[in-house]
Each structure stands twice: as structure tokens, then as C-alpha cells.
Amino acid sequence: MQKNHDRQCPWNLESITTQKSSDASFGKTKYDRSASYAIFALTFLLCYIATRANAIALSDQLAGVFMISTFLLFIKKGIPITRSTWLFIVGMLILFAENFFFTVTTFDFKIYLKLLALCVAVIFFIQISKEHFYNALFRIAAALCILSIPFYCWQIIHPPSLIALAQSIHHITPWLDTGRIHQDVDSLNIFIYTVEVTENFRNSGMFWEPGGFASFINIALTLHLMRNKFVFDKQALLLVGTILTTFSTTGYVVLFLVLLFSVTNRMVRNTTPALAGIRIFSILLLIGFFSYVFIAAPIFRDKIDSQLSAQQILIGDIDFNNENFKSLGRFGSLIVDLRSIKDKPIFGRGYSDSEFKQQFENYNFTNGLTSFIGHFGLVGFIWLIYSTYASGSTLLRQQTPVGRFPIFITLIVLTISFSNPILLTPLILIFQLHFIAQS
């Protein structure tokens, strides 16, 4: 009745106030919707950079678009810079000063400035995006999984035709592979899918290789399970199924950690003695199954054996004049990185060591963890452990009221980075800087 009266009396003060409130609410909804679209676009850029599959994903221009867009949106929303962010910036500048005065022979200001800008942009992105990021990330991950399936089936059923299609696209866009270390045709990216030429039973999705794709899906799966109280729904099973198609050693190890993370968290909720026994048995069964797979399956056993054999060779002198020797591998990267900081273990070799770059610029480092330690030394390693644990704690508090054991977040990040050089990409930086943005 009151609403009808208000319609008949437009001069009514309460009616005018209500109308203004309604208009304000509509304006806020419209702004929130546009902000949501902007965050989705930024999340897509963040994911595309993580693919590292072609010249666009590897370009400074795309990283610049992400950073500049984030800064502009941050300013538009009028979010204050937190005290923790200022302390982080000061800490980074102190580290840069140490590198400038004591570590590197040639200090590249541009590289250090880009690193600082990227880290600050990620902090701002976390503050801007909030819940929108997690929704957008999962939707993008699920879409990439669905998109990869038909291409993966095509790759298995008739690889020559898919390879021919990819080569045709590369003739049209010869710049697509610019920046790749390997010049051989071991894989071909066609924007929306990477064709595996030599290992056509593996699914790379949109990423540069199967391990990168599996790692990305595992990240999305971890955040989804946290938000879903560690319950596996149909969407989670889609992600798990896609991870299995990658046949990635790293992907499988991380999936095991994710499953263990989920089961362990569910054990502490409403647990009766009988249910606790069942869950403990499930964990032991899970550990036994994964152990058997890695011991018995030739694809994993042979791969690990070859990596260890390569390590034995690399312990000696590396023949840098051998043109066929390009990829250092995970263990080779480990050895070279640790050797490079033998005389500088505390702060590492810095981020623009000209002598190191000149010697190894044509080689592919695949161990992101030891590269990070090589750049930043023991200080960097301690920071990585602390930041991922603190960010994991923050994420668990925010995303689920029942989540515990942030050490799993640290283990997941360390395992992914051991096989993928992606610790300084925006997606992984979120797991290092989240606690700063939310404090």
C-alpha cells in the first residue's frame, strides 16, 4: 500500500529518498558489472601470459598491457595502498641496491624496474579483483579444458593432419614461434592449442607444454576445492580428467598433493573414529597408488631415469660447443644455478648478471625453483617459503571456513616451480603476494 501511495505522490520525501537510493544502487550495480568484466579480461591476460606458448604470451607488450590496465583500474577504484605494500616496495629497493653495489657487474635498470612494476601490479590486482578473480580463473580453466579435448582427440587419432594445419598457420604467422629456445619442431602452438609432435599422446592445451598445462589446471583446481569446502563436483572432475590426459610427471605429483590437501582437510571436519579410519586408509591407498604408478609405469620411470642420467653427465663439464645441447633440463638447471651462486649464496647472482647471461643465453632453463634461488640466493628461498605459506594461510581464511594446512600451498608452488620456470609470472606471484595485498 505504501508503494502505491508513493507512486501517487511523487513529491513525497520518502519516495524521493527511495528513488535516489535506487538510482545509486543501480549505478553501483552497473559499475560493479563493468568492473567484473574488466577483472575477467585482466584474469584472461594473466592466464594467457602463463601459457608462454607463443610470441604474444612471451612479449613485454602483453605484460605491459596487464600492468598498465591494473594500475589504471586501481586508481579508478580509489583503493589505498596498504602499509604492507609500501614495506614490500622498500624491501625490493633494498635488494636492488644490494645487487647494484655488490652483486652484478652490469646493472640493468629496465629489468629491475619491470620486476618491481610486475610485483606491485599483482598486489593491486589482488586488491581489485577479490572474489571475481577466483570465479574468472575457474571459468577460464574449465573452458580451456573443454577446448583442449577435441584437439587432443584429433592429435591422437590423426596427428599428421593436425600438424599440417599447425604448419599452415605458422606459414601465415611466422612470428608465432619468436622467442622460443628450441628451434626444432617438437611442438607447434596455434593460439588455442599446442600440438605435440614428438609425444602426440600428451595434451598441452593452450600452454607451451603438457607440464605447464597440468600445473595451471592444478592451480585452478586447488582454489576451486578451497571455495567448495574440498568437495569434488563435476567441474572439479573435469579438471582432474584433463590433468590425466597431459601425462605430466609434475602434473601428477601436484595432483597427488591437491588430493592429499583435500582429503586431509575433510578429515578434520565432523570426523567420527570410523570415518577417520576410512579417510586414513584412503590417504594410504592414494599414496600407494601414486607410488605404484611412478615405479611401474614406463612413461614415468624412463623419464625420471633419463633425467637422473643427464644429471650425472652435467655434474662434469658441460660441452657448450655442442650445438645439439640446448636444454639443461631440471637437474642440469639445478646444478648450473647452484654453481652460479657458489661465491654469492646469500643474495644470489642478481637479476642482470651479464657474464652469466652471455654464457647461458642460448640454453633453456626448466627449473624455475633453482633459477629463483640463483637470482635471489638464500634470501630469495626463505622469502619464497614464507610468502607462499603466509599467502596460503590468508587464502584459506578467506576462501573457506574449514580450510587448514597452508603448508600444502607451499608444497604445490615449489613442486610446480621445480619443473616450470614460472615463479615470476603474474599467476604464481599471486601465491607469493596475496598476504601483502590483504594485510
Residue 237 to residues 217, 396, 400, 411: CA-CA distances in angstroms?
11, 21, 20, 22
Q: Cell 590437501 belongs to which residue?
A: 261
Q: Is the residue at 172 inside a domain?
A: yes
Instruction: Give the span between the Cα atoms of 46 and 196, in whole angstroms.
Output: 24
Is 208 in contact with 188 (CB distance < 8 Å)?
no
For the stretch 265-297, pLDDT in tens is 887 765 666 666 666 676 677 667 666 665 666
Q: Is the residue at 76 inside a domain?
A: yes
Predicted pLDDT of residue 107: 87
What percentage of the chain reaches a pLDDT higher than 90? 53
Average pLDDT over residues 99-107: 87
| Number of residues that make up the chain | 439
Instruction: Give the span between the Cα atoms of 339 and 315, in whole angstroms.
Output: 10
Predicted pLDDT of residue 99: 92
For the stretch 373-430, pLDDT in tens is 999 999 999 999 999 999 999 999 888 776 788 999 999 999 999 989 899 999 999 9
Q: How many CA atoms lie within 13 A of 286 on its CB side?
A: 18
Q: Is the residue at 104 inside a domain?
A: yes
For the stretch 183-213, pLDDT in tens is 556 788 998 999 998 889 999 999 999 999 9
Predicted pLDDT of residue 23: 45
Q: Is the residue at 333 inside a domain?
A: no
Average pLDDT over residues 300-309: 59
Instruction: Give the span between the Cα atoms of 216 and 137, in whole angstroms.
Output: 10
Q: Is the residue at 168 inside a domain?
A: yes
Residue 180 has φ and ψ, to the nearest 5°, of -75, 140
Instruction: Dig out the grid coordinates for 200 from the structure.
Output: 602426440
For residue 416, the Cα-to-chain-centroid distance in whole angstroms is 9
For residue 89, the Cα-to-chain-centroid distance in whole angstroms is 22
Q: Is the residue at 402 inside a domain?
A: yes
Q: What is the pTM of this model?
A: 0.84
Q: Is the residue at 25 inside a domain?
A: no
Is 427 in contact with 216 (CB distance < 8 Å)?
yes
Q: Is the residue at 336 inside a domain?
A: no
Residue 12 has φ and ψ, to the nearest 5°, of -60, 130
Which range, of 143-157, 164-178, 214-228, 367-381, averages the lowest pLDDT?
164-178
Q: Which one, of 180, 209, 206, 205, lies nearest residue 59 by Cα?
A: 180
Q: Which domain holds residue 73?
A: 32-305+365-437
Q: Cell 570465479 belongs to which residue?
A: 135
For the stretch 132-161, pLDDT in tens is 999 999 999 999 999 999 999 999 999 999
Predicted pLDDT of residue 180: 58
360 — pLDDT class (breaks 50, 70, 90): confident
- Domains of the chain: total: 1
